[in-house]
Structure formats: C-alpha cells, structure tokens
C-alpha cells in the first residue's frame, strides 16, 4: 500500500519544497520507490531544487487533463534510484487541479510506488487543500517564529477537518512536526521560539529539527537535494528525519549552540 504524505505549512518560504526534495530523496535512498508531486501550480520550483528543470516535458496538469500519461510525464531522478518527480505546470492557473483528477492520478501512482510525497503550495486555499486532501500522513513544516507556528496550527485544523480521512470518518491523518531553519544561537538570545515552545503550542510529535544552514542554499543553487550532502548539518538532520519517518528512534541533533573548541577558535571554522 502506498503511503501518501503531504508536506505542508500554511506559510510560504518555510522550507516545504526543500524538505520534500530531501525527504523524498532520503526515502528512495532507503530503497523505497518514491514519487514527489509538485502541487505548486504556476510557480514550479521542485524541479529546480531537484535539478531536473530542463527535463520537464509534460506536467501534472497534462496528466489530469489526459494530454499525457504518467509514463511520459514522470521524471526519473538521475542520481537516486527509485526516485521520480511529477512536476507542476508553470503556465496553468491553480484551478487546473480537480479533486477527481488528483484522485485518479494518485490511485494510479499508488499501484506502483511505496511513498507519494505531495509538496504543497503556501496558503490555505484550493491548491493547499488539494495537496492535503488525500494524505495519510502530514509533515507540517514550521519555522521557529510566531506567525509560522500560527499558520501551522491553522493547517493542522484543516488536516483534521477538511481532509478525506476527516470527511469519511477514517483514522485521522498522522501529523508530524518538522522544525526547519532552526538557529540555536537566536533561540538562546530569545529571538526565536525554542523546540519546546513550538512542540508545546502545536502539541504534535516532533519528526525533525533542521538547522538554518548555508548547505541548504548551496544545495538548491546546484540543484541537488541537501540530504545528498551527508557531511552537512542540514543533510544529516534530514537523514535522521527520514529514519524517524520510517519508525526508527533517533536522538535529535543540532539543537544547541555548538561550543567552539580551542583549535577551531584559533584556526577558525
């Protein structure tokens, strides 16, 4: 049975697409056949972060409209086995996605894939609702600041009332908190909410904490998901996150300010 996971947040620019790319790649690295769907119709940037923008021929909307089939449209990732991208359209408007159409595509993908990751657009309008409607699990991406936490709370409300599982009275969507762009120094100074603050406010399980990291910017500039940069803090944090998503117990890292050692202080780093 394929698992449908929505990566959502309410607020824009918090790291949904970065996280979709990283988690999707991580699941595939673990041997699970995975497809990442870009629901951000009209913007389209999953393909940029995955570095496959020049290989986009058809898109999600083409498949829904029957103008292309999945086989023609899915982009097979060049670096990672088991990984496919279903890109968004840049030219259509958001209303191009219909519930029936999305359901048809998801059902077809479910025959073939272990994980279907839905990279949601920002907001709480139709596009975001469509991305979360069919989900079995949700990764709620949140930055440690008040407005992002508030929007995540809002999205959690939608997950528990406006999703297919809610409407049909099935088991609730499994909700995970992914705290991204976490900066322990700024938390210490009281400029940002702490992990505990956010956990307390949202009261859902913590899936991962991704530090604010230059590695993310380098990765997206080179069109390579940051999880492949296994040396980097953010890469390692995403690897841990994927392990937890698969049910493993992994301790949390990068939560406190790193005390620089004597050598590091002398030689920099």
For the four alpha carbons of 213, 214, 217 and 221, in that order, the dihedral sign comes to negative
218 near another protein, rule: CB under 8 A: no
Position 47 contacts ligand ADP (CB under 6 A):
no
Counting contacts by CB under 6 A, is residue 184 touching ligand ADP?
no
With tokens 């998503």, the residue in question is 245
Please say which residue, 81 or 200, places its beta carbon nearer to another protein: 200
Q: Is 200 one of the binding residues for another protein (CB under 8 A)?
A: yes
Which of 98, 157, 246, 265 lies at the binding interface for another protein (CB under 8 A)?
157
Residue 250 binding: pick among another protein, Mg ion, ligand ADP, none (C-beta 5-8 Å cut-off by kind): none
Binders in 10-39 for Mg ion, by CB under 5 A: 16-17
Binding mask 66-85 for ligand ADP (x = CB under 6 A): --------------------
18 part of the interface to ligand ADP, by CB under 6 A: yes
Region class of 119: left (phi > 0), else alpha (psi between -120 and 50), else beta: beta
Q: Which residue has the tokens 């709620």?
A: 140
**Residue of the chain from 156, 234, 237, 242 that contacts another protein (CB under 8 A):** 156
- Residue indicated by tokens 């259509």: 92
Question: Which residue number, 108 or 167, has a Cβ lying nearer to another protein?
Answer: 167
Instruction: Print burial letters for 13-49: b (CB count within 10 Å at least 16), e (below 16).
Output: ebbbbbbbbbbbbbbbbbebbbbbbbbbbebbbbbeb
**H helix intervals, the chain:** 16-29, 46-49, 60-64, 70-73, 99-110, 126-133, 146-159, 164-167, 184-188, 195-202, 214-221, 233-245, 262-267
Minimum CB–partner distance for residue 185 and another protein (Å): 26
Burial class (CB in 10 A: 0-12, 13-18, 19+), 209: buried
Q: How far apart are CA 5 and CA 223, in angstroms?
A: 23
**Which of 102, 109, 169, 106 lies closest to 129 in space, CA to CA?**
102
Binding segment (CB under 8 A) for another protein, from list 87-95, 131-139, 154-162, 206-214: 154-162
Q: Does 240 bind ligand ADP (CB under 6 A)?
A: no
Q: What is the nearest approach in angstroms of another protein to the Cβ of residue 134?
A: 20
For the purposes of burial, counting CB atoms within 10 Å of the CB of 190, is it exposed (0-12), middle (13-18) or buried (19 or more)? exposed
Q: Which two tokens stand for residue 253?
A: 């890292």
Residue 199 found at the interface with another protein (CB under 8 A): no
The nearer residue to another protein, 14 or 228, going by C-beta atoms, is: 14
Q: Which residues contact Mg ion by CB under 5 A?
A: 16-17
Q: Which residues bind another protein (CB under 8 A)?
A: 124, 150-151, 153-154, 156-158, 160-161, 169, 172, 200-201, 203
Site residues, ligand ADP (CB under 6 A)? 9, 12-18, 122, 180-181, 210, 212-213, 216-217, 220, 234
């Amino acid at each position: 049975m394929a698992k449908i996971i929505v990566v959502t947040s309410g607020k824009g620019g918090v790291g949904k697409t970065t996280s979709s790319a990283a988690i999707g790649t991580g699941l595939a690295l673990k041997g699970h056949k995975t497809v990442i769907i870009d629901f951000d119709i009209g913007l389209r940037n999953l393909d940029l972060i995955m570095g496959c923008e020049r290989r986009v021929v058809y898109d999600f909307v083409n498949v829904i409209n029957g103008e292309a089939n999945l086989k023609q449209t899915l982009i097979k990732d060049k670096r990672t086995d088991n990984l496919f991208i279903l890109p968004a359209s840049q030219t259509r408007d958001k209303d191009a996605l219909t519930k029936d159409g999305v359901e048809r595509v998801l059902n077809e993908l479910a025959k073939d894939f272990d994980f279907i990751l839905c990279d949601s657009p920002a907001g709480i309008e139709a596009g975001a609702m469509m991305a979360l409607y069919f989900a079995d699990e949700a990764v709620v991406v949140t930055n440690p600041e008040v407005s992002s936490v508030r929007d995540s709370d809002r999205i959690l409300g939608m997950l528990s009332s406006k999703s297919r599982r809610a409407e049909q009275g099935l088991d609730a969507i499994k909700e995970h908190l992914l705290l991204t762009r976490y900066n322990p120094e700024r938390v210490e100074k009281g400029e940002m909410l702490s992990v505990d603050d956010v956990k307390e406010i949202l009261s859902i399980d913590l899936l991962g904490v991704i530090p604010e990291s230059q590695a993310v910017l380098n990765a997206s500039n080179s069109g390579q998901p940051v999880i492949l940069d296994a040396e980097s803090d953010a890469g390692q944090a995403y690897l841990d996150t994927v392990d937890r998503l698969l049910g493993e117990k992994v301790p949390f890292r990068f939560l406190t300010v790193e005390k620089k050692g004597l050598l590091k202080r002398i030689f920099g780093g």
